[in-house]
Amino acid sequence: MKLNRQYYNVKDAKWAEKTSYNNGILYISKEELKKEIVPYTKNIKNVDFEIVKPGENTRIIHVLDTIQPMYKIKGESKQYSGYFGEPIKTGDGTTNLLSGFTVMESAPLPWETGSASSGLLYPRDAIMDMQGPISGFTPFSETINLVIIYDLEEGKSSAEYDDDIRLCGLKVSEFLASKTVDFDPDRVEEFSIDEINPELPNVVLVWQCQNQGVYANTYLYGHPIDNLVPTLLHPNEMLDGCVVSGNYVWPAFKVPTYLHVNHPIILELYKKHGKELNFRGVIFSRSHNPSNWHKRRSAEFCIKLAQYLNTDGLVMAWEGGGNAAVDGMLTIQGAEKRGIKASTITFEFGGKDGTEGILLVDDVPEADAVITGGSIEKTYTLPVVDKVVGGDVLRLNKEMGGYFPPSHESITFDTTTQLYLSGNQSGHSKLFAEEY
C-alpha cells in the first residue's frame, strides 16, 4: 500500500467573494462555506467563521475538534472514509493536504442533566492561547485556524448536535482542500511500509482511543468504536483519516482528528522505517473498557495482533486518563511478559513540585520506559488577551454549580485539565516534567 501526500502550504488565509487557493494564499468565502454545509445544520441555528493566525494575542474557547483539511485525488476511497459515503478502505493513492492550516470547531455544548453528557462525562471548555505560557501545549498556536462557531438550536439531543458539528467540520475541510486540485504541491511525501529489512526490529504502535458514549467518543470509518475489539490498521489508513475524534470531555486528554491524521508517533515511526526499524502497523483499540475482564481481553488481543506481526517492540499510547492508563499498562505488562519490548508516553500528576502523591494512576513493574508528557497538576496563569474566539464567557466547574468568568481576562488554573491538549498523549508537544 502506497500513499502520496501532497502538501500545499497555507501562508495566509483571507476572506473573499470566492473560495480559492493560489500561491500559498487561501481565499475563503463565508457564503460558499455556509452553502456547502446546509444539509448538515438541522440542529444548528447559525454558523460563523473566524480566522485565527499565529502570533495573534488571541484565545480560542469551547474548542471541540480540530481537523486536517484534506482531499483525496487518487484512490478508491474518499478522505475521512465512511463519512459522506461508504467505508471503503483508505490509505493508498494520492491525498492533497492544506499544510499549516486547520479547521477548528467551537461550540458551548449544553450542560445537560438527564442525558449522556450528565455526570462527569460532560463537555468541558477546552481553552487554547495563540501566545503566552500555554501556547506550546497545542500545535495549533503555530497553524492558521479557521474556527467554525456554532450557534445551536435549543432542545436537541447530544447525538444530534454532535453529528451536525462533525459533519460540518469535515465538509468545510473537504471543500477548502479541494481547491488545491489544479495546482502543484509544495512538497510530496510517499508513505509505504511494504519493504521490510529483516535485520531491523519490527515495531508497532498500539493506539488506544476513548469511547464512553456521546461526547466521549472516537469514530472508525464513521462509526463509534463501542464494540471494537483491537484491530489492525495500516498506518496509511490513519494518515487518510480513518479515525475521527468526537471527544469533548477532557480538554487535556482528548486527541483531535488533526493528530490522529498527523499522528506524531506514526510520523516518527515512518521517519525511522527502513533505517532503524520496520514499522509494521497500528494496533487500534478502545480504551475505557468497562470491566477488568474487558480490559484483559483487549490487552490480550492487542498483544496477539502484535505477535502475528512478529513484533519486537511496541509503543503504547492512549487517549484519556486513569481508566485508559489501566488498559495501557495491562497491554505493556502482557507484551513484556511475552518478550515484546514496550515504551509509552503519558501525562503525570505529582502536585506542584512533583513530590505529592503518585505520578501515575497505574503502573506495572514491566513499564520501565515511560516518557513524560508533562504534569497536569501545575498552576498556569493565562494572561489578558486582545481577542477571544468562541464566546464571551468561560464555562467551568459544572460539578461545583458552574463558574462563568469573562473569557478575555487573566485567569489562573491549578491544573491543566481545561487547557487544550496539555496531556500530550499523542506525543505532539515538547512539554514534559523536568527533574530537579
Task: Write the burial class of residue 352 (CB in 10 Å: 0-12 exposed, 13-18 middle, 19+ buried).
Answer: exposed
For every residue of 278-313, DSSP letters joined together read: EEEEEEEEE-S-SSHHHHHHHHHHHHHHHHHTT-SE
Q: Tell me if 235 contacts another protein by CB under 8 A.
A: no
Encoded one letter per residue, x for contact with another protein by CB under 8 A and - for no contact, window 136-155 reads x-------------------
Among 312, 383, 398, 413, indicate the residue that binds another protein (CB under 8 A). Answer: 312
Q: Tell me if 103 contacts another protein by CB under 8 A.
A: no
Cα distances (Å, whole numbers) of residue 171 to 7, 55, 72, 174: 19, 27, 13, 5
Q: Tell me if 353 contacts another protein by CB under 8 A.
A: yes
Nearer to another protein, 115 or 429 (CB): 429
Encoded one letter per residue, x for contact with another protein by CB under 8 A and - for no contact, window 156-195 reads ----------------------------------------
Minimum distance from CB of 103 to another protein (Å)? Answer: 23
**Which of 342, 368, 360, 335 is closest to 423 using CA atoms?**
360
- Give the number of residues in contact with another protein, rule: CB under 8 A: 54
Q: Tell me if 272 contacts another protein by CB under 8 A.
A: yes
**Cell output for 327:** 488498559
Minimum distance from CB of 310 to another protein (Å)? Answer: 13
Give dist(CA 431, CA 36) in Å, integer: 38
Among 342, 382, 388, 389, indicate the residue that binds another protein (CB under 8 A). Answer: 342
First to last CA, the chain: 46
Strands (E), 10-152: 12-15, 20-22, 25-28, 44-52, 58-60, 63-67, 70-74, 93-99, 101-106, 128-129, 144-152
Give dist(CA 193, CA 406) in Å, integer: 50
Q: Decide if 316 contacts 346 (C-beta within 8 A).
A: no
Q: Tell me if 206 contacts another protein by CB under 8 A.
A: no
3-state secondary structure 100-128: CEEEEEECCCCCCCCCCCCCCCCCCCCEE
Residue list 8-27, contact with another protein (CB under 8 A): none
Q: Tell me if 329 contacts another protein by CB under 8 A.
A: no
Among 87, 264, 274, 383, indicate the residue that binds another protein (CB under 8 A). Answer: 264
Q: Tell me if 328 contacts another protein by CB under 8 A.
A: no
**Cell output for 44:** 444548528
Nearer to another protein, 113 or 355 (CB): 355
Give dist(CA 166, CA 105) in Å, integer: 8
Among 4, 180, 323, 346, indicate the residue that binds another protein (CB under 8 A). Answer: 346
Residue list 39-98, contact with another protein (CB under 8 A): none
**Cell output for 34:** 455556509
**Cell output for 405:** 468568568
Among 2, 34, 294, 341, indicate the residue that binds another protein (CB under 8 A). Answer: 341
Residue list 358-397, contact with another protein (CB under 8 A): 358-360, 363, 365, 367-375, 378
Among 44, 67, 345, 382, indicate the residue that binds another protein (CB under 8 A). Answer: 345
Task: Please name every residue paired with 145 in a beta bridge, in sequence order, or none if there are none.
Answer: 52, 102
Q: Tell me if 297 contacts another protein by CB under 8 A.
A: no
Minimum distance from CB of 269 to another protein (Å)? Answer: 6
Nearer to another protein, 172 or 193 (CB): 193
Minimum distance from CB of 15 to another protein (Å)? Answer: 34
Q: Tell me if 201 contacts another protein by CB under 8 A.
A: yes
**Which of 152, 137, 156, 167 is closest to 60 using CA atoms?**
137
**Which of 123, 143, 117, 133 is closest to 63 using CA atoms?**
123
Q: Tell me if 357 contacts another protein by CB under 8 A.
A: no
Give dist(CA 217, CA 232) in Å, integer: 19
Minimum distance from CB of 369 to another protein (Å)? Answer: 5
Residues that bind another protein (CB under 8 A): 136, 201, 203, 264-265, 267-269, 272, 276-277, 312-315, 317, 341-346, 348, 350, 353-355, 358-360, 363, 365, 367-375, 378, 424, 426-436
